[in-house]
Amino acid sequence: MPKFCLNRIRPLVRVRSPPVHSKNHANFTSSNTDHEKKKENSGDVMKAGVMIGRKIMIVVDSSLESKNALQWALTHTVQSQDMVILLYVTKPSKQGGECNKGTNPRVSEFLSSMKKLCQLRRPEVHIEVAVAEDKEKGPAIVEEAKKRGVAMLILGQKKRSTAWRLIMMWAGNRIAAAGGVEEYCIQNAGCMAIAVRRKSKKVGGYLITTKRQKDFWLLA
């Protein structure tokens, strides 16, 4: 009689175990599904983030320092999804009447050649040109960068001696005496501003100046 009872109890125990396993399996499957959905959602965000690039403004002119800064920016900073704005700053026309920006044929020709150069080196990057007109170059650059909402401002930097700064101070040019247009933009721009100066051919590399570091030697 006891054996008969045990035989009847065992099947009941066996019958109860599958639903528990099924429930655990369902929970595990549901957890995996939720995890996969989270991964997909995060992947979508990352994909959307890749498509959104930065606006990078590069101040250009006919100087060698400006060309070196442009070259450094295209090879070291600009990414495929970024937009590059080439800014040229000119002084107001001496002629009377209102002067339209960018109407100077020489300025237009220069910006066109610089834009073609950028497109040749980085064809995947969107390039725009802009002209600012002001007596003071530094404030004009800072204002233009603010107006266009750029994330980074890049300028060419000249090597200036202490004697040059003293002469500028004596002449009443406060911006030049404080370190030039580059230093003014670094200290006053609302975005990250970088001044670039190329080292000598023997040494190589670039000297990078930002708000936090001065003449950081980048060997590249």
Rounded Cα gap, residues 156 and 167, in angstroms? 22
List, in sequence order, every beta strand (DSSP E) within 141-201.
Answer: 152-156, 192-198
Both structure tokens of 61: 């002119």
pLDDT in tens, 134-160: 988 999 999 999 999 999 999 998 765
pLDDT of residue 94: 67
pLDDT in tens, 49-73: 445 689 999 999 999 999 999 999 9
Where is pLDDT greater, at 210 or 160?
210
Highest mean pLDDT range out of 7-16, 22-31, 111-120, 199-208?
111-120
Asked if 109 and 61 touch (Cβ cutoff 8 Å), the reply is no
Exposed / middle / buried, residue 13 (Cβ in 10 Å: 0-12, 13-18, 19+):
exposed
Average pLDDT over residues 98-125: 84
Half-sphere exposure of 131 (CA within 13 A, CB side): 18
Where is pLDDT greater, at 84 or 102?
84
Rounded Cα gap, residues 86 and 80, in angstroms? 16
Average pLDDT, the chain: 75
